[in-house]
Structure 1
Amino acid sequence: MSGYYAFLKKELLESIRTYKLLILIAVFFIFGMLSPLTAKLMPDLLSSFLPEGITLTVAEPTALDAWMQFFKNTSQMGLILTVILFSGILGTELTRGTLINMLTKGLSRHAVILSKLTAMILLWTVSYMTAFVVTWGYTAYLFPNDVPPHLELSVFCLWLFGTFLMTLFLFAATLVKSSYGALILTGAVSALLAMVNIAPLAQKYNPLILALNNTALLTNAIQPSEMYSALTVASICFPLLIAGAAVTFKKRLL
C-alpha cells in the first residue's frame, strides 16, 4: 500500500504542476456560474435579438431552468473536457519511460492502476462539486425558495456516470498503446451505449441514462425508482472495469 500512496501523491502533485486541476476547477466554476445566470438572463437576451415590433412571450425563469443548464453543461462539455485532459494518463508515461523505471524498482502494476484511477476520480469529484456548489449558491440567490424535486439524486447520478466514464477510459488505456486510441475506444463504447438506449427494454439498465435523465427527474417526468437499475449496473461495472484494467495492465508488455 505504500507504493499506492506514494504514486497517488505523485499523480496529484503532477495534476497541480501541469495545471490540470486548475483548468478543471476554473472551467467547472464557470459552468456553475453561467448556469443560473443564463437561465435568469435568457428571456432578456431573446427579446434583445428580436426585430422591432415583434414580441415573444417567454415563461418566467425558475430554478429548474438553472439546473437544466447545469446538467447540460456538465454532462456534455464538462465530461468531454475531463476525459481529454486525462487522455495521456497512462500512455504518456509509458512512452517517456518514466513509468517503466518505477516498475522495475518494485512498484506494483496494481498500485499504478489504483492510484491513477483514484487521482482521476478525485479531480473529477472536486471539479464537479465546484460547479455544483457555485450553481447552488447562485440559484439560491436568484431563485430563492425554489428547489426542484430529486435534485440530490440527479446530481449523484451524473457524478456516478462520470466516475464510470473515468474507469472505462482507464481500462481502455490499458488495452491500447496510444492516448488517441483510448479516447476513440471510450467514444466507441459511449456510442454503443447510445445505440442500446434506443431499445426501450434496455434503457432502464443503461448507465448512459444517468447522464441523460437528470432533467426528467427534476420535472417528475420519471420517478427515482426508474433509475435504480442503471445505478446498479454502473455500480457493478465499476469494480469489473477496475479488475479488467489491473489484469490487462499486468499482462501488458512494456
Structure 2
Amino acid sequence: MKPFIAFTKKEMLEYSRSYKIFIFLILFAILGMLSPLSAVFMDDILENFMPKGVKIEITDPTNLDSWMQFFKNGTQTGLMIMVILFSGMMAKEYEKSTLINMVTKGLSRKTVVLSKFTAALILWTVSYWLCFLITLAYTKYYFPDGKTANLGLAVFSLYVFGIMLIAVLLLGAVTFKNVYGPLLLTGGFTLILFLVNIFPKAAEWNPLQLANSNMRVVQGILKLSDLKYSLLTAAIVVAVSLVSSLKIFDRKGL
C-alpha cells in the first residue's frame, strides 16, 4: 500500500510541476461560471451577432438553460480538455525510461498502472465537481425559484462517463509509447459508441447515454431505471480497460 500511495503522490507532484492541476482547476472553474452566465446573457449575445433589423424572440432564461450549458460545456469542452491533458500519462515514462530503475528495485508494475489511474481520477474528480458547484451556486443566485428533477443523477452520469474515458485513455497510454495512440484509441472508442446508437435495442446499454441524455434526466424524462444498463456498461468498460492495462503493461518492455 505504501508504494501505491508514494507513487500516486509522485504523480500528483508531476501534475503540479507541469501545471496540469492549475490548468484543470482554472479551465473547469471558468466553464462552471460560463454555464449560467451564458444562459442569462444569451439574449444580449444573440442581438450583437444578428444583422440590423432582424429580431429573434427568445423566452426568458431558466435554470434549465443554465444546466443545458453545463452539460454542453462538460461534454464538448471539459471532456476534450481531459482527454488531451491525460493522453501523455505514460509517454514521458516510456520516452525517458524513468520506470526502469523503479521496477528493477521492486516497484510493482501493477502499482504504476493503478497509481496513474488514481492520480488522473483525483484530478478529474476535483475539477469536475468544482465546475458543478460553481454552476450550482450561480444558478441558485440567478434562478432561485428554478427546480430540476434528478439533477444529481444527471451530473453523476457525466462524471462516470469521464471516468470511463480515463480508463480507456490509460489502456491506450500503456499500449502505445506516444501521445497519439491514446488519443486515437479514445476517439475510435467514442466513434463506436455513436455507431452503436444506430441500433435502438443497443442504445439503452450504450454508455454514451450518460453524456448526451443529461438534460432528459434533468427534465424528468429519464430516470435511474433508464440509465442502469448504461452505468453497468461503463463500469464493465472501466474494469476491462484496467485489467487489460495491467496485463499489457506487465508484458511490455520499458
Query: Aligning the two structures, in what range does the TM-score lie when normalised by the shorter sequence?
Result: over 0.9
Instruction: For 1:109-188, list aligned pairs within 5 A.
Output: 109-188=109-188
In structure 2, stretches of 5+ residues that fail to align are none
Q: Give the distance between the partners of 1:197 and 1:146, measured in 2 at CA.
A: 32
Q: CA RMSD in A?
A: 1.2
Taking structure 1 as the reference length, the TM-score comes to: 0.96
Q: Secondary structure at 2:39's aligned position in 1? A: helix
Taking structure 2 as the reference length, the TM-score comes to: 0.96
How many residue pairs align between the two structures?
A: 254
Given that 2:168 and 2:185 are in contact with CA atoms closer than 8 Å, whether structure 1 keeps it comes out as: no
Identity of aligned residues (%): 44
Q: Give the distance between the partners of 1:97 and 1:66, measured in 2 at CA.
A: 46
Given that 1:92 and 1:179 are in contact with CA atoms closer than 8 Å, whether structure 2 keeps it comes out as: no
Residue 49 of structure 1, CA deviation: 3.4
Match of 1:197 in 2: 197
- Structure 2 residue 119 is the aligned partner of structure 1 residue 99: no
1:201-239 Cα offsets, whole Å, 9 max, x none, are 111101111011101111233333211110111122222
Match of 2:26 in 1: 26
Q: Give the residue type in structure 2 aligned to 1:221.
A: I
Instruction: For 1:36-115, list aligned pairs within 5 A.
Output: 36-115=36-115
Residue 52 of structure 1, CA deviation: 4.2
Residue 240 of structure 1, CA deviation: 2.1
1:34-64 Cα offsets, whole Å, 9 max, x none, are 0000000001222333444443211110000
Query: Compared with structure 1, are the counterparts of its residues 171 and 52 closer, same or farther at alpha carbon in structure 2 (3 Å cutoff)?
Result: closer
In structure 1, stretches of 5+ residues that fail to align are none
Given that 2:207 and 2:231 are in contact with CA atoms closer than 8 Å, whether structure 1 keeps it comes out as: yes
Match of 1:209 in 2: 209
1:42-88 Cα offsets, whole Å, 9 max, x none, are 01222333444443211110000000000111111111111111111
Given that 1:3 and 1:111 are in contact with CA atoms closer than 8 Å, whether structure 2 keeps it comes out as: yes
